Structure 1
Amino acid sequence: MLKTKNSLLRPGVSAALLIMIAGCQTPTGIDQSSEQLDLPEQYYFYQNTAVKQAEQESLLTLNYWLAELDNQTLDEMINKAIANNRQLQIRRFELAKAEQQLIISGASDWPELSLNVAQSRSKNIINDNSSINNNAEISLDLSYELDVWGRLSDQQKQSQLNFKIAQANYSQALADLSAEIVAGWYRLAEAQQLLELYAERAQNLKNNLEQIKSSYRLGLNQALDVYLTQNDVSSELARLAEQNQQVTEASRALQLLLGDYPSAALSSDVQLPSVQISAYAGVPSELISRRHDLNARWYGLLAADAGLAVAHKNRFPRIALTASTGDSSDQLDNLLDGGSLAWSIIGNISQPIFNAGRLEALEEQALLDVKITEQQYLDDVFQAFSDIENGVHRHQTLLSRFDHFQYARENAVAAEKLAFDQYLKGIVDYTTVLESQRRAFDAQTQLIQLKAQLLQNQVALALSLGGYDPEQINNERPSPGSNAVVTNSNAD
């Protein structure tokens, strides 16, 4: 009869084990379409306009762009910022912290061994009789959890992915900091060039005021012209003071990036360069692997998926082995006196039975975390494509505007000089002079600002295309036959 029962139980036990093993297969919450995105062969801007990409091996990265600028001062500032910037130091500490977590999670591959020593003294009273008992114990305990379902391996995988996230975030922080240094340097140069323009205009207005006052004393013009010119001088001096504040703030912002005290002592003695991009922008399918921030997002998605596997396997039995050996005595110095040691070996299986749906809810929550992280990853990817499409389009728009304003400035400056000459001769009134001065000033200001916008857009575009490595800056200096055109000029 017993034989019959065993024969009936064996298939049931085997089936239960097969179901449990099948249930422990690692689940995934990542949609396959997220791994294989449907992307165009080239950026749409180049498909829908007459502008064509330069077909050359040099990819437009921040390294390439910095090499084309060939500015030793910028290179030195970037190296200084990498060494001293406090936000970057935080990233380094986060990376080191993630590396320590690798050690913590990897410890589950090994048994845990601990030594315990205890000494106790107690007094017992029985029927008004008291006795003093001494007890000393020493034990060596070993415990080890068997990774039957792969739960511990998934935890290790999650830690490894978190370390990769920290690495990618650090690399992206390096790229962001380098781009901020370049942008801050030319932002300071723009502010100083505008300051010089405002100072020159203020001086010109003062000279005009003296001529108009002299003519007024001779009775050649009206008092209104003197008041209007004086108003222009005062307004320009106020603008000059405001622009001086802009220079100070730009200097302090750059010093903060360098890790220096914000004394506003830093100044940029360079003119804004004109850089014509002709490097290869790559294809959309290559972008994800080059962008450190997108890599970090992808690793984050994989880490969340590993967390889902852990949450799933937390619902299954845990098997642990414990072993202990030791000795006890009434005196501490009698321990391990050569007598036989006590020992024990215990196997333990722990299976959650009832927890009011907590573990199931935790698994569902982990699945939702994967879905949320997946959508954040996809949103960042397509935002990156949008940034590049906008960047290359904006570059062409800014170039076109710059050409028009350059021509407008030439005409406006000539008109300003002619209008003032004609005013002194009594041909036109002072309103014409004011209008011509306003147009000349606006055109000159716009040219400086447009050149700065071109530089800022090129930095942002190069950063968006990824692939930055600060150690390669000095290795990517342009060759004599380089297609990129870099010119250092005045505000033009």
Structure 2
Amino acid sequence: MTKQLTLALLAAGVLSACSLAPKYERPQAPVASAYPTQAGERNGDATAIGWREFFPDQRLQSLIATALENNRDLRIAALRIAEARALYNIQSADLWPSLNATASGTRARTPASLSSTGSAIVGSSYQVGLSLASFELDFFGRVRNLDNAALAQYLATEEAARSARISLVAEVAKAYLTEQSLAEQLDLARKTMESRDTGYKLAKQRFDVGASSALDLRQNEILVQSARASLATLTRQRAQATNALTLLVGKPLGDLPQEKTLAEQTIVTDIPAGLPSDLLARRPDIRAAEQRLKAANANIGAARAAFFPRISLTAGIGTASRELSGLFDSGSQTWSFAPQLVLPLFDAGRNRANLSLAEVRNNVAVADYEKSIQIAFREVADALAARATLDELIDAQRLVAEAQSARLKLADQRYQNGVASSLDVLDAQRELFSAQQTLIQARQLKLTNAIDLYRALGGGLKETSEGPAAAQ
């Protein structure tokens, strides 16, 4: 009868639990319904484009695949998931009663002065059975809300790991392009230095025979040393870029496919952006912020439940005997049943403060969620704004470099014919080098902008595209 009563109370406690948590409602997105530069923009889903299709360069694909396997930040994110899962399992265990098998034995001597018989007594007691530890009947949803909060935190950690994976793919690609850009600028600086060194030697010969002034010689020397300084700077920057790429990849670089120049890269640059509302479902960082908001909402329910009575059960059943051999004899059964009700009367405002804390943290989570949406909106809007002008920038800079090259040829011809001074040639050389460097940087900017847009739209989580329409 006692066993049936206990089971009935447990079932009632689990099945009749209510929740005092506020009804969750997703906050309104604090952004416009369309991007500022989205006139005529077609809908699409960047998350459906796998990174192998987005980055056709096999060398870059190999670097990304290696980074996804070896990057330590990504490993830490995976371990954070395991940690959050364990914490959730610990919390969810409170929803169920804990049964323990117990066995005890006692042997004690009572002196004659304390014995009722007037002589010393040696007594024994043995007991085995099952015990139910203090189990809370969750009538007001305190335990259930704590479990929901732990689950939401676990899901938020999973989403954070997905966001870290997306960021890693983008950062490896950008680091690779940075290293390639510096390699091209370094090659340009090396060729420029060789050319200027040759010019300096010719100027030195002309100066030695009195065909030119010391001013012309010093101007050529300045150009040579400037090129030398640029070469040293770019050498350092490329080495540091390689180190940064190695750190992201997680292992030394080696056995990689043939590299491509920036002009040869065919990264997908025309990605459809869709609508800002799509970011709520496609950005893992936004989904993580929403899960944290749900956890904060559930914690309010747990804080409210602390104001109500807490009912817990402790019970045990087994056998007991003075002799070890008599533990399972007829009539040796024992049981205990100890329900407990605790009603908070005075706690110096502790429960009220805990509820206020939960409400404030919920407000913080709302602001964090809204900020995540605003950041995502800005990242997409910035990338779209840049994409609209980068093609024109590259075309204009290419024409500038071509014009500077033609200018240098004309200036050199005029100088050889005695029509122009050497200063015109030297100035044309400086301008050509600067224009060529800027063109390389503009090409890198276009590619990195495409990567930023791809990441901002939630792309990079999948390795391959899904379906024939994914790459349209």
| TM-score (normalised: structure 2) | 0.86
CA separation in 1, counterparts of 2:466 and 2:199?
Answer: 50
CA separation in 2, counterparts of 1:401 and 1:108?
Answer: 62
The residue that corresponds to 1:451 in the other structure is 443
CA deviation map 1:286-340 (0-9, x unaligned): 1111100000001110111001111111221112222112444556676446651
The residue that corresponds to 2:170 in the other structure is 179
- Asked if structure 1 preserves the Cα contact closer than 8 Å seen for 2:67 and 2:250, the reply is yes
The residue that corresponds to 1:440 in the other structure is 432
Deviation at 1:37, TM superposition (A): 3.2
Deviation at 1:100, TM superposition (A): 2.1
C-alpha change, 1:131 and 1:432, in structure 2 (3 Å) is farther
Deviates more, 1:183-192 or 1:221-230: 221-230
C-alpha change, 1:269 and 1:73, in structure 2 (3 Å) is closer
CA separation in 1, counterparts of 2:362 and 2:23?
Answer: 6
The residue that corresponds to 1:113 in the other structure is 99
The residue that corresponds to 2:190 in the other structure is 199
Deviation at 1:398, TM superposition (A): 2.9
CA deviation map 1:112-142 (0-9, x unaligned): 1112333455555555987665554444211
The residue that corresponds to 1:235 in the other structure is 226
Secondary structure, counterpart of 1:352 in structure 2: coil
**1:77 equivalent in alignment to 2:63:** yes
C-alpha change, 1:265 and 1:314, in structure 2 (3 Å) is same
For residue 75 of structure 2, the aligned residue among 89, 110, 117 is 89
For residue 466 of structure 1, the aligned residue among 434, 440, 458 is 458
C-alpha change, 1:474 and 1:449, in structure 2 (3 Å) is farther
**1:370 equivalent in alignment to 2:362:** yes
**1:390 equivalent in alignment to 2:376:** no
C-alpha change, 1:476 and 1:436, in structure 2 (3 Å) is farther
Deviation at 1:42, TM superposition (A): 2.4
Aligned length: 450
Secondary structure, counterpart of 2:371 in structure 1: helix
1:15-54 matches, within 5 Å, as 26-28=20-22, 34-37=26-29, 40-47=32-39, 52-53=40-41
- Asked if structure 1 preserves the Cα contact closer than 8 Å seen for 2:126 and 2:327, the reply is yes
C-alpha change, 1:81 and 1:379, in structure 2 (3 Å) is same
**1:321 equivalent in alignment to 2:313:** yes
CA deviation map 1:448-474 (0-9, x unaligned): 111111111111111111144323259
For residue 271 of structure 1, the aligned residue among 261, 264, 278 is 261
**1:417 equivalent in alignment to 2:409:** yes
**1:289 equivalent in alignment to 2:281:** yes
For residue 130 of structure 2, the aligned residue among 130, 137, 140 is 140
CA deviation map 1:409-428 (0-9, x unaligned): 11111112222332233322
Deviates more, 1:71-80 or 1:330-339: 330-339
Deviates more, 1:363-372 or 1:451-460: 451-460
**1:101 equivalent in alignment to 2:95:** no
For residue 241 of structure 2, the aligned residue among 242, 250, 253 is 250
Unaligned regions of 5+ residues in structure 2, if any?
Answer: 1-15
- Asked if structure 2 preserves the Cα contact closer than 8 Å seen for 1:252 and 1:266, the reply is no
CA separation in 1, counterparts of 2:351 and 2:398?
Answer: 68
Deviation at 1:277, TM superposition (A): 3.0
The residue that corresponds to 1:222 in the other structure is 213
CA separation in 2, counterparts of 1:289 and 1:269?
Answer: 36
CA separation in 2, counterparts of 1:224 and 1:332?
Answer: 113
Deviates more, 1:383-392 or 1:414-423: 414-423
The residue that corresponds to 2:398 in the other structure is 406
- Asked if structure 2 preserves the Cα contact closer than 8 Å seen for 1:63 and 1:476, the reply is no
**1:211 equivalent in alignment to 2:202:** yes
> What percent of counterpart residues are identical?
27
The amino acid of 1:227's aligned partner reads R
Deviates more, 1:393-402 or 1:278-287: 393-402
The amino acid of 1:346's aligned partner reads A
The residue that corresponds to 1:489 in the other structure is none
CA separation in 2, counterparts of 1:254 and 1:185?
Answer: 7
The residue that corresponds to 1:311 in the other structure is 303
Deviation at 1:369, TM superposition (A): 0.3
The amino acid of 1:28's aligned partner reads P
Deviates more, 1:161-170 or 1:398-407: 398-407
- Asked if structure 2 preserves the Cα contact closer than 8 Å seen for 1:58 and 1:64, the reply is no
The amino acid of 1:307's aligned partner reads N
CA deviation map 1:119-166 (0-9, x unaligned): 455555555987665554444211332221122221221122112111
The amino acid of 1:115's aligned partner reads A
The amino acid of 2:210's aligned partner reads G
Deviates more, 1:272-281 or 1:213-222: 272-281
Deviates more, 1:276-285 or 1:451-460: 276-285
| TM-score (normalised: structure 1) | 0.83
The amino acid of 1:442's aligned partner reads S
- Asked if structure 1 preserves the Cα contact closer than 8 Å seen for 2:21 and 2:299, the reply is no
The residue that corresponds to 1:166 in the other structure is 157
The residue that corresponds to 2:179 in the other structure is 188
Deviation at 1:274, TM superposition (A): 6.2
- Asked if structure 2 preserves the Cα contact closer than 8 Å seen for 1:248 and 1:264, the reply is no
Deviation at 1:176, TM superposition (A): 0.7
Secondary structure, counterpart of 2:49 in structure 1: helix
CA deviation map 1:19-51 (0-9, x unaligned): xx99x7624286x5x53336544212224xxxx
